[in-house]
Structure 1
Amino acid sequence: MRKRFSEGSPIASTVVTGDDFDELESTFQAFLAPDTVKLDTRAPTGFFDISQLSGLRIAGIDPNGLSVYELALDTDVVLHGEETPDAYTVLVTISGRNQTLIGREVTPSRHVLTGPDTRFQTRFEHPDILMLRVGKQLVADAMRERLGEARASTPRFDPAIAETSGMGQWITLLHTFSETAASGLFDRSPLAAEHFEKLLLHGLLDTQPHSLSGELAAERPRPKSSAVRRAMTYCQEHAAEPVSIGELAMAARTSVRALQLAFRTELGLTPMEYLRRIRLDHVHQDLVAIAQGRAEGSVTDVALRWGFTHLGRFSGFYRETYGKLPSETARLTA
């Protein structure tokens, strides 16, 4: 049995390992719906190992996050269960075999995607599997970012992952992500991990068919002009600093009037509205970190840190963007 990660990496770690299949069942119940998960094995004498390669050290799933695991079994088991209402799971088979039933339908693929509240039965035969867990809210936020507005429902993905050229490339990307996380590089560069996670998430939305694929294809934007790209980059790199429209125009190498027109034409908003969105995203991430115990501070501290001095107006912007008050995000439990 392989250890895919460096023992020196504080991110990569063993979740559970051994031959106590009751413990393995309890682990799956921590990830999924406890009242529905059952694990059956004809000969509970084998060995198993679940290792977390990336993501937060929490039980279950972070609705706003993404994590990757490796599951290795040297025996045959059948897992009956139900996905939680706030997560998606992608199973990519490295070796061995598995067969999954979604409801009563056999999924004709060795790679499978289950969505929120999906009931399933998977028969594992000595598998080595990469398991990607993605929070439902993270998917919803990505769709809002892509389409410009929130949708009433999150995507319902096709459960069978066909190894087309696009999905084949995405699976290769997942392998690369897991190996990079296991190496410890993401421990030293959280920004690199964040960019890689977004690449995985948006790649999945673009390549695996789902109920909103048509909207993504219809809304796919034209390439942005170089001036707008330069201004967007400046906003992202200087979001924590005072930024004026004049500075943005200088960074974009154009006039203020031309930049404002380009932003309205290409993005449907002003340069300063775009900067506000960037800052709100940083606020949201900081509040989630406070809620999960990874950071300390108050809503006021976070708002002021990212340049929002009018707290009433800030709360309105935040609620309009995320559907809740900033104080509600800060109280969420991981």
Structure 2
Amino acid sequence: MAHPVAARSDSRAAVAPFSPAGGYELYRGGDQSLLHPLLDRHFTRHEMEVVGRRPLDACFRALHQGTLTAYDLSYGTDVVVSPGDPPDVYIIRLAHRGRASLNVAGGMKPFSPSVVNPGQVVVARWDADTRARILCVPRQLLARAMHNQIDEATDEPLAFHTAFDLRVPEALTWLRVARRFTEAADAGLFAASPLAIAHFELSLVHGLLASHPHRLSEQIQRSAPVRGTGALQRALAYCEAHAAEPISVADIAAAGRVSVRTLQEQFRVHLDTTPMGHLRRVRLAGAHADLVAVAQGRASGTVTEIAAAWGFPQRRHFAALYRAAYRHAPSQTIGGR
């Protein structure tokens, strides 16, 4: 069944709930008072100036709304777009058609494929025929993935180079996979398997870290890749996707489709840890990212609330684990020190 249109220029209908059955329109029309709240919600606070002769005829379409989100966007007229606030997500333009330009810190960059980093202010110009496909990666998800790869914790968002180097085979491969992911999600091919979605999303995040340059690229390249069986890979993806839930070693083994004993042996041989030890590390990374978000005013909460949300009901126990991992107390992180 087709999704209802979330909003039109002559209607103030509520936003349609997302279903994994496939992509659907969030908005189509020319009413900025309806379009802007949707763009604010899905990207960041949005400032747009119509500079073309045609009236606004925007189309905003959700392709996927999971841990990662993906959209198609067009305005139907010439516009100049700038963020009211720098984004707190990585906005990756996978592809576009039509003429468009991107100004980053006073310098011109390719409109796509490109990455706009959290906190980075850019100005984009779209012509009437421009239609862009955009993938959004939450800052906290990428920070956890980086920490899991190289055990590097930082309060600053990782900054990628804006433009993809299309001469690099790994970058081309990642772009092809990301584009196919959006196509498959739009077609509803993931509807029957939420676990497949979680695994694909994490693969994209880790692949981005490995294929697109940033200041920690050399450390990631030097770090030994996680090898092992498909069971181990499935278990790792499950831990990442369900870290904030009350899961057990039996749940992780079920996700890996092996026995608990086999799972424990896989983690011991390939990662030198236990399944629950790895899960605890993922949870600590998630809690750290949330504490940093509170310190920077991007979220709210207390140390106790955040610890409980990530499966640490006893604050003293959480503080000891956190200090061992990050070399300072969680209260220092949330206080911005």
TM-score (norm 1): 0.68
Partner residue of 2:39?
28
Q: Which residue is 1:55 aligned to?
A: 65
1:178-219 Cα deviation digits (max 9, x unpaired): 122122233332111111111211121111111221221122
Q: Which amino acid aligns with 2:55?
A: T
Deviates more, 1:99-108 or 1:205-214: 205-214
Deviations 1:68-99 (A, max 9, x none): 11113332222122553521101123321211
The answer to whether the 8 Å contact 2:198/2:238 transfers is no
Secondary structure of 2:191's aligned partner? helix
Are residues 1:127 and 2:130 paired?
yes
Task: String of CA shifts for 1:242-300, please: whole Å, max 9, x gaps.
Answer: 69xxx97952697xxxx89x64xx5354565236447879999xxxxxx9xxxxxx987
Alignment-derived partner of residue 43 in structure 1: 53
Q: Secondary structure at the match of 1:39?
A: strand
- State how far apart, in whole Å, the 1-side matches of 2:107 and 2:308 are: 51
Q: Does 1:158 align with 2:161?
A: yes
Residue 18 (1) aligns with residue 29 (2): yes
Is 1:111 the counterpart of 2:147 in the alignment? no
Alignment equivalent of 1:86, drawn from 82, 85, 88: 88
Matched, 1:188 2:220: no
Structure 1 gap ranges (5+)? 57-64, 285-290, 292-297, 330-334
Structure 1 CA distance for aligned equivalents of residues 187 and 237 of structure 2:
28
Q: Is the 8 A contact 1:18 1:49 kept in 2?
A: yes
Q: Is the 8 A contact 2:87 2:119 kept in 1?
A: yes
Q: Distance in 1 between matches of 2:235 and 2:171?
A: 33
Name whichever of 98-107 and 159-168 sits farther off. Answer: 159-168
Aligned counterpart, 1:67: 69
CA RMSD of aligned residues (A): 4.4
5 Å matches for 1:237-252? 240-241=248-249, 250-251=261-262
Q: Are positions 1:204 and 2:215 aligned together?
A: no
Would the alpha carbon gap of residues 154 and 268 (structure 1) be closer, same or farther in structure 2, given more than 3 Å must change? farther
Gaps of at least 5 residues in structure 2 are: 5-17, 240-246, 252-257, 289-298, 300-305
SS of the aligned residue for 2:130 comes to: strand
Greater alpha carbon shift after TM alignment, 65-74 vs 196-205: 65-74
CA deviation vs aligned residue, 1:113-139 (integer Å, no higher than 9, x gap)? 111121111111211211111111111
Instruction: Say if 1:153 and 1:16 are closer, same or farther in 2 by CA, change over 3 A.
Output: same
Distance 1:100 1:235 in 2: 37
Instruction: Tell me the equivalent position of 2:173.
Output: 169
